[in-house]
A and B are shown apart, each in its own frame.
Chain A
Amino acid sequence: MSDGTGSDGARTLTAEGLSVEIGGARVVDDVSFIVRPGRVMALVGESGCGKSLTAYAILGLLPPAARLAGGRIRLGDTELLALSNRSLRHIRGREIAIIFQEPSASLDPLTTIGSQVAEAYRLHHDVGRAEAMAKARDMLADVGISDPDRRLHQYPFELSGGMCQRVMISIALINSPKVLVADEPTTALDVTIQAQILDLMKKLVAEHHTSIVFITHDMGVVADIADEVAVMYAGRIAEIAPVQALFSSPRHPYSALLLASVPRLDAAAKAELPTIEGTVPTAEEFGPGCRFADRCPLADQQCRTEQPPLFDCGTGHRAACWHIDRIGELSKQGTRVTA
């Protein structure tokens, strides 16, 4: 309520030094980022890099095995981690909403679409059932569901995956939250529907002035929807940058290699797709230095023993690498690999 100006200083959501532990291992380590009003922040990384845990930490709903080990999360001026469960309930769904990867599994199979959308509204508004239903109907129409009057009385199993994701989006946005956390919302959908859902999200975000934390591993989706990108690797932010800066001049070797491994339409037909050698270290294998060192072509002794801080390398562009100035050597190596 305080921001919404879109000016440079305004922040909707601030994460500072967020850390999550599972069984003593830091699976999310010192993650900080800022989400500005009406902007989309993408958290990108491989499976298990801690991007989803980061999102759940924001909502104060970590899985039972995980423990918050430190950090602060502020929504506007509210310190979320200091809130009781009861006050968090008033934030969840009204100020911060989330949509998931599996839309059909995220809806109660035994409750009609209408009741579920209406419930989301009634949880935070003191209105009668009829009024909430009318609101739900309008919201379903807003997210492009055809024939909303009929859909209200249908069950989730009668709808396609794309439809269910539209329903989830309408549940998430019916209270006009300040932040929408989208946890791989398009991964389970086919490409055509994926594009439609992304367009829909962009449109609705503009209408509702909602910021998005968009979690994905799909660089194509990032290019499509994000304003800023945080590339995560093994629980840490490797690089954080405006989307154009990241795509045109990545400064962390991991982001650079990741971008190089995205298939391109203009590449030579038979060219071998570059890959990143090795696998992500497990939590037990975390060394004292840079967690990407074992797979990094630029790594030296310092990388293995000392953890690199995030270095500034442009406006809003920071990378956690000791060799941000040697990134050029990588493309030469890259060509050698692909040739």
Chain B
Amino acid sequence: MAIITFPLPRPRLPQMPLSVVLVAILFVVIVVLAVLAPWIAPQDPNDQSLLARLRPPGYTYRDVTYLLGTDDLGRDLLSRVLYGARISLAVSVLSVAVSTVVGVSLGMVAGWYRGWVETLIMRAVDIMMSIPAILLAVLTVAVLGPGFIKLVLVLGLTRWPRYTRVAFGQTLTVAGLPFIRASELAGAGAGRILIHHILPNIAGPILIVATAEFGLMILFESGLSFLGLGIQPPTPSWGSIMSVGRQYLERAPWIVFVPGACLFLLVFSVNVLGDWLRDWIDPRSRSR
């Protein structure tokens, strides 16, 4: 008998449509700029020059060219936006991570065990969702005091109920499918089934929630920073830059416009990549 060997299919490189590739490049560029901020920023982001305040993009003062203009204290907007990207990215990524982990685990546990566990978790979700998240965040920060880690925890721990709702509903659906019963009857324990079989099958909808939340986190961070409860000045974040710029919207619109455009591009790219990732998780759509 002739032995024919087939090359084993290696895990393929993700095949992206061109539009997604462009968006991915955009996302990578933003992340790289944020990471490299200390090396590429033309100025110290906190260096004030009161004589050059509220100057438009391209303004040169004492041999220093402010490519994107200056803010109300004459600080270089480009440098502040670059540094601010670090804070905004870190806050949103970490807080989304915290709320995803907390929310999804609770939702899966509630959907798997049902009974009093479900009642306990899902009623807690109802209570959490009936309180405005921003109010909860304000209260918590007011008690704990501001700070980067506290901000991440506050945002993460107030936003988990949305993930729990989605994870709970999806777990209910998937847990009723025959293959879950099959692996239970093959002797798999609850932990194994939840992590290896249910989680991958509910990841799509959760990813959608997470990408939507990602942009919201940056906005919440700016809201809290605006109230003086988030990132403390002079540390720049996109939110705090925008909240300062709001007062000078007529005289110096670039202060709001530049970080706003960056925020838009970042959230847009995250959403597009999230959509693509959700489709890519499903092997049925991958092998085309």
The CA-CA distance from A311 to B168 in the complex, in Å, is 51
A168 contacts across to B, CB distance below 8 A: 182
Check B185 against A109 for contact (C-beta < 8 Å). no
What class of interface size applies to chain A in its complex with B?
20 to 34
Check B5 against A106 for contact (C-beta < 8 Å). no
Take A153-B9, A155-B283, A157-B283 as given contacts and tell me if A106 and B186 are in contact as well, using a CB distance cutoff of 8 Å: no
User: At the interface, yes or no: A147 with Cβ under 8 Å from chain B?
Assistant: yes
The CA-CA distance from A153 to B192 in the complex, in Å, is 21
Q: Which residue of B lies closest to A147 (CB)?
A: B6
A46 contacts across to B, CB distance below 8 A: none
Check A92 against B185 for contact (C-beta < 8 Å). yes
Q: B114, B187, B197, B200: which contacts A90 (Cβ < 8 A)? A: B187
Q: DSSP class of A's interface residues: helix, strand, loop or mixed?
A: loop
User: At the interface, yes or no: B188 with Cβ under 8 Å from chain A?
Assistant: yes
A87 to chain B, nearest CB (A): 11
A150 contacts across to B, CB distance below 8 A: 6, 8-9
The CA-CA distance from A268 to B251 in the complex, in Å, is 99
B interface size (C-beta, 8 A)? 27
Check B283 against A61 for contact (C-beta < 8 Å). no
The CA-CA distance from A19 to B287 in the complex, in Å, is 48
User: At the interface, yes or no: B184 with Cβ under 8 Å from chain A?
Assistant: yes
The CA-CA distance from A100 to B182 in the complex, in Å, is 8
B174 to chain A, nearest CB (A): 10
User: At the interface, yes or no: B196 with Cβ under 8 Å from chain A?
Assistant: yes
Check A105 against B177 for contact (C-beta < 8 Å). yes
Check A171 against B178 for contact (C-beta < 8 Å). no
Check B188 against A59 for contact (C-beta < 8 Å). no
The CA-CA distance from A106 to B197 in the complex, in Å, is 12
Check A61 against B184 for contact (C-beta < 8 Å). yes
**Contact flags (1/0) for B167-193 with A, using CB distance below 8 Å?**
000000000011101111111110010
A102 contacts across to B, CB distance below 8 A: 178
User: At the interface, yes or no: A80 with Cβ under 8 Å from chain B?
Assistant: no
Check B5 against A149 for contact (C-beta < 8 Å). yes
A64 to chain B, nearest CB (A): 8
B285 to chain A, nearest CB (A): 10
User: At the interface, yes or no: B201 with Cβ under 8 Å from chain A?
Assistant: yes
**Contact flags (1/0) for B246-288 with A, using CB distance below 8 Å?**
0000000000000000000000000000000000011110010
B181 contacts across to A, CB distance below 8 A: 61, 100, 106
Quick check: which of A35-43, A117-125, A269-277 contacts chain B, the rest being far away? A117-125
The residues in A between 151 and 177 inclusive whose CB is less than 8 angstroms from any CB of B are: 153, 155, 157-158, 168, 171-172
Please give the residue numbers on chain B whose beta carbons come within 8 Å of chain A beta carbons, in ascending order: 5-6, 8-9, 114, 177-179, 181-189, 192, 196-197, 200-201, 281-284, 287
Please give the residue numbers on chain A whose beta carbons come within 8 Å of chain B beta carbons, in ascending order: 59, 61, 64, 89-94, 97-98, 100, 102, 105-111, 119-120, 123-124, 147, 149-150, 153, 155, 157-158, 168, 171-172
